[in-house]
A and B are shown apart, each in its own frame.
Chain A
Amino acid sequence: MSREIPAVEATDLVKRYKLRNRGLKKEFWRFFSIVFGSGGPTLTALDHINLEIAKGEVFGLLGPNGAGKTTLIKILCTLVLPDSGRAKVNGIDVVKQPRKAVKILQAVLAGGTGFERRLTARQNLELYATLYGIPKNVARKKIDDLLEFTHLTDRADSMFQRLSTGNERRLLLAKALLKDASIILFDEPTTGLDPIAQAEFRDLMKDVLSKQEGKTIIVSTHNLWEAEQICDRIAVLQKGKITAIGTPSEIRHAATDWTSLSIGLAPPVAVKIPRVAEEFRHIDGVSQVELSENKDGSLILLLEGEKGMDYNKVFEMITMMKFKIKSLEATRPSLESAFLKLVREDGEAVDHAEIEEEARINDGTAN
């Protein structure tokens, strides 16, 4: 049976940015580099990335600033060329067939909106509808629907420069949906939106675009809670490498061995708290024990430790002490704690955005 073509496929993808120091001595080499396009030190933005995203999946890219998320998105959008490796969208190579590739994907990038500041919201959408090749009669209806969907009908005839940040983002979303792309890439999509709009946006991505319309959504975000809410799978990027990939639950458990049990106990007789706590501390996998007494004489036992905590021993101990279990709660590690652990394990993040800018200035691109 033939395997279904993934929506996005990256194979051994490498991207390095040139990095040169400023100064007159370097000017000759800068000129040399512009002419011959090589030489000089580089900084690795993507380091042999391998990735597959299935059709209809909501996929999150997490990572600190400069981890390589935007570079990966821009390579998929055909706006940045990789140094080596392959990237495909719906089986189409983004380097070899960029024009074909952009037809099936749409991107909402963090930087420029691409809107003309002195055109109205509607005029801007009309312009892009024409550039996307949408027939005029179809476009008119679609624009009306999208303006209503994004709550911009009242502001449709306002100049873009008069829109609030939130409305600018809404218009950007309307533009993204104007083209019937099967893959949509969002770079920091909810930045600048108020909490209500953020919630609407999340519902839109998860429920409407992914579930109802079957589109593949790729979201780059710093918002871990948001990623956990909407993403089917997540990749954590650090210094251009994927350090973890899986469902939010898999990431949490793969990254942290930490687990926590909170048990409400009813002792048969009054107990000496420190001694009881000490007994639990000897159980395998338990690293921390807190035992506190409530006013009614019941106890709260809080055990923290590794994933491999010996639960049998915990309950044997409780039975042996003739405690009654009144309540039991297991606390799972949060995605945030998993993310922080993954990122900190690999040291401080390199600010690729800053380095890209540095490379640009020194590479003759800011002449």
Chain B
Amino acid sequence: MMELPIDLKKIAALTQRDIRNWSTYKTAALTSVLGTLLGVASWGLSTTYRNRAVPDYNTDYVSFLITGVIIANLILPLGQGVQKGLNPQTIENILMTGMPTPTFVLGQVMWPYILSVIFLIPQVFIGVYVFHAHLIINYVSLILAVAISSAIVFSFSVISTGMRIVTKVNDPFTWAISVMSQIFSGMTFPVSHLNDYIPGLSTVSWFLPQTWIYHIVRLATLEDGSLTQPDVATSFLVTLVIAIVLVPISMRVFQWGLARAKRDGSLGHY
């Protein structure tokens, strides 16, 4: 049999190393494949909605899209902050300080959150002055919307942390939240557009907390939604209830993850 040149053997060895590594992280491998497919679906849905008016919020598509992107940029780093902080070099040492769970998670996410708020300013500026997004902001509603949304995203972060302590590199929860956000939460197109493909599909969206986050922030920024309006107040109330339910659940998930890793002896692993 013909021998491969030595350099080709080395390239093959390095490739084999990467395949072996990749296949070790089974969930990550599976979710990256599925994520690619679902990403195409998300872009397809966004593109087919392009440049239509958005009667749900009495606005145009550019304004709708820009608020969606801004909200996404504001809340996504919270989850990422936790993930970055969860390396085996620090977690055991941090836990040895006896820090309470909320303090630990808030400490991990605070800087990414501050950074995203700072970056929000040029994003809004570009959206308004370059792409002519029409923002009609009700500041009281906006502050409340951001507060409630932060509580929900904080809960997501805590759940994600709890899962990731067990699964290490990738957890199904964070992946599901991310994928669901892209397709069902109305980040880049109104959720009612889903019904154009499968009638009634948008109902799924309203079971997702992130849909409510996008909804109440858009009510506060696109159509001057005031809490004195019954439909706006109802939306805020539903989102608040979701936050109230999610916060304690997230703490339980974190405690479960921590106990699970301590039982396995895998707390310091990666």
Chain A contact residues, CB within 8 Å of chain B: 15, 17-18, 27, 34, 37, 45, 71, 74, 77-81, 83, 98-100, 102-103, 106-107, 109, 111-116, 128, 131-132, 356-357, 359-361, 363-367
- Does B98 lie within 8 Å of A103, measured CB to CB? yes
Residue tally, chain B, CB below 8 Å to A: 35
A79 and B264 contact, CB distance less than 8 A: no
Establish whether residues B170 and A363, one from each chain, have CB atoms under 8 Å apart when the complex forms: no
**B267 interface residue (CB < 8 Å to A):** yes
How many Å lie between the Cα of A27 and that of B23 in the bound state?
13
A27 to chain B: closest residue by CB:
B26
Once bound together, how far apart are the Cα atoms of A103 and B97, in whole Å? 7
CA distance A15 to B264 in the complex (A): 10
Whether B138 is near chain A, meaning CB under 8 Å from some CB there, is no
In the complex the two chains form, is B264's CB within 8 Å of A360's CB? yes
- Residues A81 and B97 in contact in the complex (CB < 8 Å), given A34-B166, A112-B88, A114-B92: no
Bound: A71/B267 CA distance, A = 12
A68 to chain B, nearest CB (A): 11
Q: Do B92 and A79 touch (CB < 8 A)?
A: yes
* Residues of B close to A357: CB separation below 8 A: 269
Q: Are A128 and B97 in contact (CB under 8 A)?
A: yes
Q: With a CB–CB cut-off of 8 A, which chain A residues contact B252?
A: none
* Interchain CA distance A71-B261 in the complex, whole Å: 13
Contact B265 A356 (CB under 8 A): yes
Known: A128-B97, A131-B97. A365 touches B168 (CB 8 A): yes
Contact B167–A365 (Cβ < 8 Å)? yes
Q: Which residues on the B side are within 8 Å of A34 (C-beta)?
A: 166
Q: Using Cβ atoms and an 8 Å threshold, which residues of chain B touch A17?
A: 264-265
Enumerate chain B residues within 8 angstroms of A83, measured Cβ to Cβ: 263
How far does the alpha carbon of A17 sit from the alpha carbon of B269 in the complex, in Å?
14
In the assembled complex, the Cα of A364 lies from the Cα of B26 at a distance in Å of: 9
Give which listed residue, B24, B98, B168, contacts A102 with CB less than 8 A. Answer: B98
Interface of B is mostly: helix
Q: How far is the CB of B40 from chain A (nearest CB, A)?
A: 24
Instruction: Tell me the complex Cα distance, A109–B241, Å.
Output: 43
In the complex, the chain A residue whose C-beta lies closest to that of B172 is: A367
> What are the interface flags for B237-270 relative to A under an 8 Å C-beta threshold, 1 for contact and 0 otherwise?
0000000000000000000000111111111110
Check A367/B168 contact, CB under 8 A, given A102-B98, A103-B98. Answer: yes
Chain B residues at the A interface, C-beta cutoff of 8 Å? 24-28, 87-90, 92-100, 166-171, 259-269
Q: How far is the CB of A3 from chain B (nearest CB, A)?
A: 28
CA A78 to CA B170, docked complex, whole Å? 25
- Known A360-B264, A361-B24: A366·B98 in contact at CB below 8 Å: no
Closest 3 CB pairs of A and B: A114-B93, A367-B27, A112-B89
Contact A111 B98 (CB under 8 A): no
**CB-CB nearest in chain A for B29:** A367
Contact check, B264 vs A366: say whether CB atoms are below 8 A apart: no
Contacts of B26 in A (CB 8 A): 27, 367
Q: Please determine whether B262 and A360 come into contact, CB atoms closer than 8 angstroms.
A: no
Q: How far is the CB of A359 from chain B (nearest CB, A)?
A: 7
State whether A112 touches B92 (Cβ < 8 A): yes
B268 CB contact (under 8 Å) in A37, A100, A111: A111
Can you pick out 6 interface pairs between chain A and chain B where the beta carbons lie within 8 Å of each other? A18-B264, A79-B92, A102-B95, A112-B87, A112-B89, A366-B169
Cα-based distance from A102 to B167 in the complex (angstroms)? 25
- Partner of B261 from A18, A77, A98, A365 at Cβ < 8 Å: A365
Task: Give the distance in Å from the alpha carbon of A361 to the alpha carbon of B93 in the complex.
Answer: 23
Residues from chain A with a CB closer than 8 A to the CB of B94 are 114, 131
For A366, list chain B residues within 8 Å (CB): 24-25, 168-169, 269
* Closest Cβ neighbor of A181 among chain B residues: B96
Which residues from chain A contact B167 at a C-beta distance below 8 Å?
Answer: 364-365, 367
Q: Are A37 and B267 in contact (CB under 8 A)?
A: no
Question: Which residues does chain A contribute within 8 Å of B27, judged by CB atoms?
Answer: 367
Contact of A80 among B97, B170, B267 (CB under 8 A): B267
Name the residue of chain A whose CB is nearest to the CB of B167. Answer: A367
Q: Measured between alpha carbons, how far is A363 from B264 in the docked complex, in Å?
A: 8
Minimum Cβ distance to chain A for residue B219 (Å) = 38
Contact between A360 and B97, CB atoms less than 8 A apart = no
Q: How far is the CA of A111 from the CA of B262 in the complex (A)?
A: 16
For A71, the chain B residues whose CB sits under 8 A away are: 265
Chain B residue nearest to A117 in the complex (CB): B89
Q: Are B90 and A365 in contact (CB under 8 A)?
A: no
Contact B265 A37 (CB under 8 A): no
Across the two chains, which residue of chain B brings its CB closest to A70? B265
Shortest distance between the CB of B168 and any CB in chain A (Å): 6
Q: CA A180 – CA B193 in complex, angstroms?
A: 61
Q: Is the CB of B28 within 8 A of A109?
A: no
Q: Cα distance A83–B264 when bound, in Å?
A: 10
Q: A308 vs B264: C-alpha distance in the bound complex, in angstroms?
A: 47
Q: Do A79 and B89 contact each other (CB < 8 Å), given the known contacts A114-B94, A367-B170?
A: no
Given contacts A71-B265, A360-B269, whether A102 and B90 have CB atoms under 8 Å apart is no
Bound together, the chains give a CA A17 to CA B263 distance in angstroms of 8
